Amino acid sequence: MKSIHVLNGPNLNLLGQREPDVYGRETLADVEARLSAAAQAAGADLLFRQSNHEGDLVDWIQEAGRAGAGVILNAGAYTHSSIALRDAIVGAQAQVIEVHVSNVHAREDFRHVSMIAPVARGIVAGFGTLSYDLALQGLLALRAGK
């Protein structure tokens, strides 16, 4: 069975409450329920996590890499600043799809740079929480050799 880790960074626990005009009203629990059902239908195990702490994300990326699991990563603000996450992806040889709920390129200039993008397999941004679903479809296709 395929294993997929969905890792969420800082402030994503506030999804549905924080700036709903930017991020929508769906909660992270809503996203988890939808992705869990989709993963199960595809024959994949899904591990869904969120932390406001960079070190947790580093540990989880390394864990996923060691296990050969695919990773859907919404690193939140760490996307734009964390060399540690980038190094964890490279060091663990994790297959990562970077996800953003908003279109980061239509926002503040500092959000236009990603430390993760150069080492990610793909990026999905700007489709609201549907970005997670699209990333799951893409990751499952990549893992199936498509």
- The token pair at 116 is 């993760």
Residue 21 — pLDDT band, cuts 50, 70, 90? confident
Q: What are the angstrom distances between the C-alpha of 116 and each of 56, 77, 82?
A: 16, 11, 8
Measured between alpha carbons, how far is 146 from 138 in angstroms, rounded to an integer?
A: 9
- Which of 100, 105, 112, 132 is catalytic? The answer is 100
| Count: domains in the chain | 1
The residue type at 92:
A
User: Counting beta carbons within 10 angstroms of the beta carbon of residue 20, is it exposed (0 to 12), middle (13 to 18) or buried (19 or more)?
Assistant: exposed
53 belongs to the catalytic site: no
> What is the spatial distance between Cα 125 and Cα 42, in angstroms, rounded to a whole number?
23
Half-sphere exposure of residue 49, counting CA atoms within 13 Å on the CB side?
Answer: 20
Q: Is 132 annotated in the active site?
A: no
Look-up: residue for tokens 């699991």? 69
Residue 21 maps to which CATH number? 3.40.50.9100
CA 119 vs. chain centroid, Å, equals 13
Which structural domain range is residue 83 located in? 2-143
CA distance 116 to 97: 9
Q: What is the pLDDT of residue 18?
A: 83
Among 5, 23, 78, 132, which one carries the catalytic annotation? 23
pLDDT at residue 1 greater than cutoff 60: no
Confidence of residue 106 (pLDDT cuts 50, 70, 90): confident
Of 24-28, 31-35, 79-83, 109-113, least confident by mean pLDDT is 109-113
Q: Within its chain, how far is the Cα of 7 from the centroid? A: 5
> Mean pLDDT over all residues of the chain?
93
Q: Which residues pair with 72 in a beta bridge?
A: 6, 97
CA distance 36 to 2: 13
